[in-house]
Amino acid sequence: MRRPFALAAGLLAALALVLVGGPAFAHDELIGSSPAAGAQIDALPSEIVLTFSGVLLDEPGATEVVVTDASGASLVASDPVIDGTKLTQPLAGTASGEVTVIWRVVSSDGHPVSDTFAFSVGSGAGGGAATPVATATPTPLPGAPMQAMDMTWIWIVLGVVLVGLGGALVAVLVGRARRPHQD
């Protein structure tokens, strides 16, 4: 009679470990940049550094940064470089006015994250600090595929189904253990 209970307890413990040890539901996010969103700077820097809340995946094609001046000309000098939580985008050229930065990365949980912001270069850039162009919803890069759905709800449904199956297994095992033995 102890065997079915031990088996059921072991299965429930394994289920709890799977659910607790599953992927994090929070995606990494941009926590800072240099230059900062909305900053007014004198000259275009040689690079932009983006800092994220988690380590970024460094897979081919997973990271893209588009930096353009007020006329729409590209200021990107070469491919971005990822070092843990930092992404460095080398820049080339000169700019005056608003500079727009559009970025897309793959966070440590495998989810693509993207957004945009702006800063101003030069003293004649609109007479004041630029207003950050940040959106509440991720903004895809031109030509970047959008994620079809958020995977969070799938993990929740899977967890509920697994707990239900575990409960059904416990009920079957307890029912068998309570039946009178026919010897």
Task: Return the half-sphere exposure (C-beta side, CA atoms, 13 A cut-off) of residue 32.
Answer: 5
Indicate whether 51 and 75 sit together in one domain. yes
Alpha carbons 116 and 106: distance in angstroms, whole number: 15
Q: In which residue are the tokens 């500079």 written? A: 99
The parent domain of residue 7 ranges over 2-23+152-178
Provide the CATH number for the domain around residue 115.
2.60.40.1220
3-class DSSP assignment, residue 15: helix
Within-domain flag for 127 = no
Within-domain flag for 70 = yes
Look at residues 1, 144, 119, 13 and name the one whose alpha carbon lies nearest to residue 67: 119
pTM over 0.85, yes/no:
no
Q: What is the pLDDT along the chain (183 residues), one digit of tens a residue?
A: 566 666 666 666 665 655 555 444 567 899 999 999 999 999 999 999 999 999 999 888 899 999 999 999 999 999 999 999 999 999 999 999 999 999 999 988 888 999 999 999 997 544 444 344 443 344 444 444 444 344 455 656 667 777 877 777 877 777 777 777 666
